[in-house]
């Protein structure tokens, strides 16, 4: 097996084509099928580094991993009760969202956001929904909605 890396432009174009095909097949419903993309990366690179059960610490840990791996430049966020607004700058996958938007398709997935969602669900057992993805001023603007902790049975 070759250890040579494939060009980012090529990888992002393939992601775009896969997302576009999924959109053509499922429309907005495709977004809810892409929420777990990145789970293996999360399990290997993020989960071992999360030591806190505080949401702010969890988001900062995910940001540290993504910056270290050169996937994003910066993640800023604010929260209002159960709403988290994230701004992701310098994401290597932003061209995928830009290509979709150029075709009139709402962005379907945000892999950095998926990692945050996976972390909150795993560490806090709280469901999270990625409700909105927009590109504003060169950054992805995301809205995450946190739901109440799942009830335990038994």
Tens-digit pLDDT profile for residues 67-108: 999 999 999 999 998 999 999 999 999 999 889 888 888 888
**Domains in the chain, ordered, with CATH?**
8-146 (3.30.1380)
* pLDDT recorded at residue 1: 54
Q: Which residues contact 75 (CB under 8 A, 6 or more apart)?
A: 59, 62, 63, 66, 86, 87, 88, 89, 112
Tens-digit pLDDT profile for residues 131-141: 999 989 889 99
State both tokens at 148: 């109440």
Residue 119 CA to chain centroid, in angstroms?
11
């Amino acid at each position: 097996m070759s250890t040579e890396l494939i060009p980012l432009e090529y990888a992002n174009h393939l992601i775009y084509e896969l997302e576009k095909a999924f959109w053509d097949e499922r429309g907005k419903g495709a977004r809810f099928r892409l929420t777990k993309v990145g789970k293996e990366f999360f399990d290997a690179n993020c989960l071992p580094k999360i030591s806190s059960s505080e949401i702010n610490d969890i988001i900062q840990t995910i940001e540290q991993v993504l910056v270290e791996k050169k996937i994003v430049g910066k993640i800023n966020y604010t929260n209002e009760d159960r709403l988290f607004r994230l701004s992701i700058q310098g994401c290597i996958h932003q061209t995928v969202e830009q290509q979709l938007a150029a075709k009139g398709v709402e962005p379907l997935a945000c892999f950095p956001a998926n990692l945050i969602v996976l972390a909150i669900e795993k560490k806090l057992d709280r469901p999270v929904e990625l409700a909105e993805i927009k590109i504003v001023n060169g950054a992805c603007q995301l809205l995450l909605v946190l739901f109440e902790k799942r009830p335990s049975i038994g």
